[in-house]
């Protein structure tokens, strides 16, 4: 199925037009298409010939054999989108909007350490600087190439001829293929066969899908370090906001990360700042922004989110209980990355009261004076502490050697769990 073209943004059109003018040669659409198709076929066969040393005829036969086993573009699309969002578990908190109903509160986000933090957004909602900057950093010929970068392939050829390592030269489309289609065990295998496979699938993707669709897959599947995949997840991880709220400074910081994921603001701030400058320079070169805008963004300081904030869990014992129940009901890969939204019966305010009451009572059972503990607890918002049972007068101050406690509150008529506290802390 061919995806319909989304509206092409003005800035993308201007970039393509500018590149065409720089070529100084006027070509008709038909002749340009024939030239591209000829170059594609030649490049693929040349890739096989140079990389493997086989004859052109044998290479053409190998092309047919390889393409017979390739996944379809639809399978690439499915691989890009499926199991791609973290599962979020919600409880019920305060009535923030005054409508008489308690509002859902995120208490736990199931982040698969092998898959990372993910959130899919449409290319139509992405900021122009995210789109233009990504292309500027990753694949300047993206809007006009047939799925792979001729210059990148040429560099790989030269490196191979000179006896060097097999070079990458991967286009945005090739990286989509690598991240979504190539098996994990082959993904980091720097071999001729994998590069050829990437090129062939990329050609088919470009033939059947709009560039905007391919770019959407890429930006949503790219690794931005710190277990964040996709620009929206990265925006939330590093800056505590959605991708639609990013400043130019923040955009430049993020688009510079995928090439070197460890050079991010959390793991290597100094290198990340340097990479930000490189990204801004590329954006100026490609006409995304002006030099003045780049200079202003370069001097804009970061306001980073707390690096471990997204791993905080509210009501941890209940959250882990819900996760175990989910894993008993569904396949683990669906729980880890299927984008489930789970609305539980937990009353977060009641759960907080249960938690602080347990802590207060354990202090009393450890020998502290109830006349001191209870006023302190209630003064800190733990109103339920005033209803704790009395300790016999002759045993006040005695250490009962009770180090832990647990509470479960259940609605008798329905069996709904309203509060669950598994320990004092």
Instruction: Give the residue from 221, 253, 274 where a domain finishes.
Output: 221
Q: 351 and 202: one domain?
A: no
pLDDT in the model for residue 226? 82
Beta-bridge partner residues of 91: 105
Region of 163 please: left (phi>0), alpha (psi -120 to 50) or beta: left
CA distances from 8 to 12, 25, 253, 263, 313 (A): 7, 24, 25, 32, 41
pLDDT in the model for residue 285? 96
Instruction: Give the residue from 221, 251, 284 where a domain finishes.
Output: 221
For residue 6, is it within any domain? no
Q: What is the DSSP string of 26-72?
A: ---HHHHHHHHHHHHHHHHHHHHHHHH---HHHHHHHHHHHHHTPPP
Q: Which residue has the higher pLDDT, 297 or 86?
A: 297
pLDDT in the model for residue 242? 93
pLDDT in the model for residue 310? 54
Instruction: Please check the confidence at residue 29 and state whether its pLDDT lies above 50.
Output: no
DSSP class of 392:
P
- Which range of residues forms the domain containing residue 38? 29-81+144-221
Confidence grade of residue 313 (pLDDT, cut at 50, 70, 90): confident
Global pTM? Answer: 0.58
278 with 256: CB under 8 angstroms?
yes
- Of 107, 115, 134, 112, the C-alpha closest to 123 is 134
User: Tokens 């002006």 label which residue?
Assistant: 290
The tally of domains found in the chain comes to: 2
For residue 9, is it within any domain? no
pLDDT in the model for residue 5? 37
- Of 297, 267, 264, the C-alpha closest to 282 is 297
Cα–chain-centroid distance for residue 36? 34
Q: 208 and 352: one domain?
A: no
Query: E-strand spans in 111-250?
Result: 117-118, 228-229
Q: Out of 32-46, 96-110, 228-242, which region has the weakest mean confidence (pLDDT)?
A: 32-46
Q: Out of 37-51, 162-176, 189-203, 364-378, which region has the weakest mean confidence (pLDDT)?
A: 37-51
Distance CA 175, CA 70 (A): 16
Given the DSSP bridges, would you call strands 104-110 and 87-92 parallel, antiparallel or unpaired? antiparallel
Instruction: Please check the confidence at residue 45 and state whether its pLDDT lies above 60.
Output: no
Query: pLDDT of 146-164, one tens digit each?
Result: 988 877 666 665 665 555 4
For residue 16, is it within any domain? no
Beta-bridge partner residues of 90: 106, 343
Instruction: Please check the confidence at residue 350 and state whether its pLDDT lies above 90.
Output: yes
Confidence grade of residue 187 (pLDDT, cut at 50, 70, 90): low
Query: pLDDT of 367-382, one tens digit each?
Result: 999 999 999 999 999 9
Tell me the backbone φ, ψ of residue 407, rounded to 5 degrees: -140, 135
Mean residue pLDDT of the chain comes to 79
User: Tokens 């698969």 label which residue?
Assistant: 112
- Of 286, 290, 288, 252, the C-alpha closest to 141 is 286
For residue 247, is it within any domain? no
pLDDT in the model for residue 269? 93
Query: pLDDT of 49-83, one tens digit each?
Result: 444 454 555 555 555 555 555 556 566 656 665 54
For residue 354, is it within any domain? yes
Instruction: Please check the confidence at residue 20 and state whether its pLDDT lies above 80.
Output: no
Percent of the chain residues topping a pLDDT of 70: 70
CA distances from 394 to 289, 391, 397, 402 (A): 77, 8, 9, 18
Distance CA 397, CA 334 (A): 52
Q: Which residue has the higher pLDDT, 240 or 330?
A: 240
Instruction: Give the residue from 221, 251, 267 where a domain finishes.
Output: 221
CA distances from 344 to 106, 354, 355, 416, 418 (A): 10, 17, 18, 9, 9
């Amino acid at each position: 199925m061919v995806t319909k073209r989304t509206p092409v943004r003005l800035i993308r059109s201007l970039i393509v037009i500018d590149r065409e003018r720089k070529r100084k040669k006027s070509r008709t659409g038909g002749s340009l298409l024939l030239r591209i198709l000829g170059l594609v076929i030649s490049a693929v066969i040349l890739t096989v010939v140079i990389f493997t040393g086989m004859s052109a005829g044998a290479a053409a036969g190998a092309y047919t054999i390889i393409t017979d086993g390739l996944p379809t573009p639809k399978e690439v699309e499915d691989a890009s989108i499926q199991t791609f969002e973290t599962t979020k578990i919600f409880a019920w908190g305060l009535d923030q909007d005054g409508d008489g109903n308690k509002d859902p509160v995120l208490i736990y986000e199931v982040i698969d350490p092998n898959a990372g933090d993910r959130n899919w957004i449409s290319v139509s909602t992405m900021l122009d600087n995210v789109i233009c900057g990504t292309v500027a950093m990753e694949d300047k010929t993206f809007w006009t190439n047939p799925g792979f970068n001729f210059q990148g392939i040429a560099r790989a050829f030269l490196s191979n001829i000179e006896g060097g390592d097999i070079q990458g030269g991967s286009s945005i489309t090739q990286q989509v293929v690598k991240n979504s289609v190539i098996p994990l065990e082959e993904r980091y295998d720097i071999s001729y066969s994998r590069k050829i496979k990437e090129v062939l699938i990329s050609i088919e993707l470009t033939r059947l899908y709009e560039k905007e669709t391919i770019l959407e897959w890429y930006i949503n599947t790219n690794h931005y370090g710190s277990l964040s995949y996709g620009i929206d997840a990265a925006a939330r991880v590093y800056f505590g906001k959605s991708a639609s709220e990013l400043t130019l400074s923040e955009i430049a910081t993020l688009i510079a990360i995928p090439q070197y994921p460890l050079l991010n603001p959390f793991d290597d701030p100094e290198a990340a700042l340097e990479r930000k400058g490189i990204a801004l320079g590329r954006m100026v070169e490609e006409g995304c922004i002006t030099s003045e805008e780049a200079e202003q963004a370069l001097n804009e300081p970061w306001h980073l989110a707390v690096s471990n904030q997204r791993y905080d869990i509210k009501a941890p014992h209940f959250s882990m209980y819900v996760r175990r129940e989910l894993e008993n009901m569904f396949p683990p890969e669906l729980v880890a990355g299927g984008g489930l939204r789970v609305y539980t019966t937990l009353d977060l305010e009641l759960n907080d009261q249960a938690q602080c009451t347990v802590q207060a009572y354990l202090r009393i059972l450890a020998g502290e004076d109830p006349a001191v503990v209870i006023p302190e607890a209630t003064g800190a918002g733990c109103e339920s502490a005033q209803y704790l049972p009395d300790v016999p007068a002759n045993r006040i101050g005695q250490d009962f050697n009770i180090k832990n406690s647990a509470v479960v509150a259940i609605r008798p008529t329905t069996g709904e769990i309203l509060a669950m506290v598994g320990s004092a802390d």
